[in-house]
Amino acid sequence: MLTATRTTTILPVTDPDRASHFYADRLGLTPLGGGGGDGTLLFELGRGDVLGLMPAEEGAQSGHTVLSFEVDDLDAEIGELERRGVRFEDYDLPELKTVNHVAVLGSEKAAWFHDSEGNVLCLHETIGVG
């Protein structure tokens, strides 16, 4: 059953070495090595899931969120990642407004940043409603 499987998220990267350093050094993910003959680099995610960084041409990255990490304390995680050099985005749009990088979206808070390759990543925290 698919609901009981481990998943691998594959992200396109133009510079695998640069991306590997970003995910290991800035985000603190554990490298697992190569994932086959196509040059994909694997990293351990929580709960047994895996992130694959697959070499791709410039422009293969998406303009929307491709990966979101659920965290227990969004503000603490933002502070830790900022200390490691991660830059968070701020938005002031009719449908999305952030305050100190954080948007409240119903029952969750979220903050976005780009990896070294231009992929959009997110941190989110479930919050109580009401």
Can you give the residue ranges of every domain in the chain? 2-55, 65-126
Which DSSP helix (H) or strand (E) runs through 20?
A: helix 16-21
Helix (H, G, I), strand (E, B) or coil at 93: coil
- As a CATH number, domain 65-126 is 3.10.180.10
Chain segment 67-95, per-residue pLDDT in tens: 999 999 999 999 999 999 999 999 999 99
- Is residue 130 pLDDT above 60, yes or no? no
Q: Are 11 and 45 in contact (CB under 8 A)?
A: no
- As a CATH number, domain 2-55 is 3.30.720.120
Q: Are 7 and 50 in contact (CB under 8 A)?
A: yes
Residue entry with tokens 């490691």: 84
How far apart CA 24 and CA 126 sit, in angstroms, is: 25
**Summary count for the chain: helices (H), strands (E):** 2, 8
Chain segment 110-128, per-residue pLDDT in tens: 999 999 999 999 999 999 7
Query: What local confidence, expressed as pLDDT, does residue 33 receive?
Result: 87
Chain segment 8-37, per-residue pLDDT in tens: 999 999 999 999 999 999 999 999 988 777
Q: What is this structure's pTM? A: 0.90
Nearest to 26 by CA among 123, 93, 108: 123
How far apart CA 103 and CA 96 sit, in angstroms, is: 7
Chain segment 40-65, per-residue pLDDT in tens: 999 999 888 999 999 999 888 888 99
Sign of CA dihedral 37, 41, 43, 47: negative
Q: Are 106 and 97 in contact (CB under 8 A)?
A: no
